Structure 1
Amino acid sequence: MPLPSLSVVVPVFNERDNIAPLVHETTAALRGLTAFEIVYVDDHSRDDSLAVLQALKLQVPELRVLQHVQQSGQSTAIRNGVKAARGEWIATLDGDGQNDPADIPKLLKARASADLRVKLFAGWRVNRQDSGSKRWASKWANAIRSSMLKDATPDTGCGIKLFEREAFLDLPYFDHMHRYLPALMQRAGWQTVSVPVNHRHRTAGVSKYNNLNRALVGIRDLRGVAWLIARSKRSAIREL
């Protein structure tokens, strides 16, 4: 197989029933469009997610499987998947199936017509399919984040994103960083664009987050990211 130009990174924890449908949808969306690979990172699942992935590898040549030897969280899974990826550009999907892989070509199309300084194309769930309480919590979280970070991004929590691998790996790493990628990319001097995408109901498994733990972690992270932005210093360089 040729080296991929795109790597689709999917973190997964206890999502055994969502894995196969998402893998097959991703291959259907991308085969014939671009050279790609799918990198699943199993965050030490307690169900048989890993066995499902290993069986799928026999059917899907584009599929690669990584496993954390201990549970480490979504941001670490994404970062380890990006580090292992061979593509110059990365698309991410949540492992619960609520992101639609058919939107990846839409993000690639947006990249094709964008300024070269745009290094992140962030999905924007314009028609959320979550519970009312989760939508309400997300609305207020986005408003608070936007007020503090000035990142001009309506939906940083959407799991489907497209970004340049090199730019991502140059960002400061911390747990839950995946929720602040637009602000971190802008801090690094790059531009970001939000692209409307589809959002779907979860059809199997249960959410790994609740509104309270999101809020408690988010307050601390917001303060940290605001500090990073305030302390940022960039300078153009020239070689003499």
Structure 2
Amino acid sequence: MTYEFTIIVPIYNEEGNIPRLEKELSNYIKIAIRKTKVLFVNDGSKDHSQSLLEEICAKNTHFSFLLFDKNYGLTPAIKAGFDATTTELVGYIDADLQTSPLDFNLLLEHIPKYDLVTGVRQNRKDSTFKKLSSTLANIVRRAFTKDGVEDTGCPLKVIKTSYAQRIPMFRGLHRFLPAMILLQNGKIKQVPVQHFPRIAGKTKFGFWNRSIGPLADCFAYLWMKRKYIDYSISKRSFDI
């Protein structure tokens, strides 16, 4: 089968969510508007996540996995997924399923005209503190990047792979994906998506990486922006 879209799912100690992931993603693949496969990236889980992932991948050709030798973090997991992707389109979703794979179809409808389509979570089912820290982080990030994105932390995105693989990733850059597409003169689109409460597992983010951490990342982004190299080839004399 020739696939068109790869969904990256970073995994870190999510054994309680993995059976639901298999069910929800399998259901989505049946109705996806692009031929879809799933790539789990196990970020050095210490629970039984890996054995569950191997069982899923052994019985379903639409699923595959990468296993890190230790815990590196969310951004390295996303980058590893981007690097391994061979399809025209790549997206990702968090393993907690607070967003629905079904909403990928809403994003994919816009991808022919845009280079990144990101979800905007509606009626968020999070704690007041979590929503407040996320709102603050978005305000600060927009002040630095001028990308105009309302909810850059939404874990539901679709990107043209050619753009995703040109992003010079650093830790925390998953918050800046729209801004990095704009640096490549790409076009971005925001689409409202559903949001659900976390049912199993524990959040991997606390006060530091929801508020103070993103502020530090903004300065790293500004440094990288000044050093960023982008170019396009208009003509060549040979085939690669």
Q: TM-score, normalised by structure 2?
A: 0.92
Aligned to 1:3: 2
Q: How many residues align?
A: 235
2:77 is matched by which residue type in structure 1?
A
Aligned twin of 1:203? 199
Distance in 1, Cα, partners of 2:163 & 2:189: 15
Structure 1: runs of 5+ lacking an equivalent: none
Task: Please give the per-residue CA displacement for 1:22-70, whole angstroms capped at 9, x wherever unaligned.
Answer: 2221221222533221000101101000011111123322110110011
Deviations 1:47-100, CA, capped at 9 Å, x for gaps: 000011111123322110110011111111111112212211012001111121
Work out the CA distance in 1 between the residues paired with 2:141 and 2:29. 33
Map Cα deviations across residues 131-187 of structure 1 (whole Å, 9 max, x no partner): 100001111111111112100100000111000111111111101111100111101
Return structure 1 stretches of 4+ with deviation > 6 angstroms: none
Sequence identity of aligned pairs in percent?
29
**Correspondence for 2:124 among 124, 128, 135:** 128
Instruction: State yes or no: 1:78 paired with 2:74.
Output: no
In the TM superposition, 1:8-157 aligns within 5 A as 8-33=7-32, 34-112=34-112, 114=113, 118-157=114-153
Segments of 5+ residues of structure 2 without an aligned counterpart are none
Secondary structure in structure 1 of the residue aligned to 2:10: strand
**In 2, Cα distance between the equivalents of 1:201 and 1:67?**
27
The CA distance in 1 between the partners of 2:229 and 2:80, in whole Å, is 27
User: Aligned equivalents of 1:85 and 1:224: distance in 2?
Assistant: 26
SS at match of 1:123: strand
Cα separation, 2, equivalents of 1:107 and 1:43? 26
Match 1:185 to one of 181, 185, 188: 181
Residues 96 and 202 in structure 1, CA contact (< 8 A), matched pair in contact too: yes
State the alpha-carbon separation in 2 of the partners of residues 106 and 60 from structure 1. Answer: 25
**CA deviation after TM superposition for structure 1 residue 189, in Å:** 1.1
TM-score by length of 1: 0.92
Aligned pair in 2 of structure 1 residues 58, 230: CA closer, same or farther (>3 Å)? Answer: closer
Are the aligned partners of 2:137 and 2:215 in contact in 1 as well (CA < 8 Å)? no
- Distance in 2 between the 1:32 and 1:234 partners? 37
Task: Give the corresponding residue for 2:158.
Answer: 162
